[in-house]
Amino acid sequence: MILGIINYWCTKELDLFTFIIVLIIGYGMTIGKKQVKKLDKWAEAKFSRKTAKY
C-alpha cells in the first residue's frame, strides 16, 4: 500500500502499478476476508487432528 501511495505521489498519475495495488487492497477488505476465513477453517481441520511423530 505504501509503495502505491509513494508512486502516486511522485508521478501524480494513476498507472497500472497503483491500480493493481488499489485492487488488491479492495479485494482484501471485501471478498478476501471470507476467503481467509474459509482457508483458516480448512487449515485448522486439516492440521489440528494430526499428532506430531518423533
Residue 50's pLDDT is 60
The interaxial angle of helices 16-29 and 31-47, nearest 10 deg, is 60
What is the tens place of the pLDDT at every residue in 12-48? Answer: 888 888 888 888 888 888 888 888 888 888 888 888 8
Task: Quickly state the pLDDT bin for 52 (edges 50, 70, 90).
Answer: low
Angle 6-3-38 from CA coordinates, rounded to 5°: 145
pLDDT score, position 1: 65
pLDDT at 42: 85
DSSP strands (E only) in 1-54: none
Q: Which amino acid, 46?
A: K
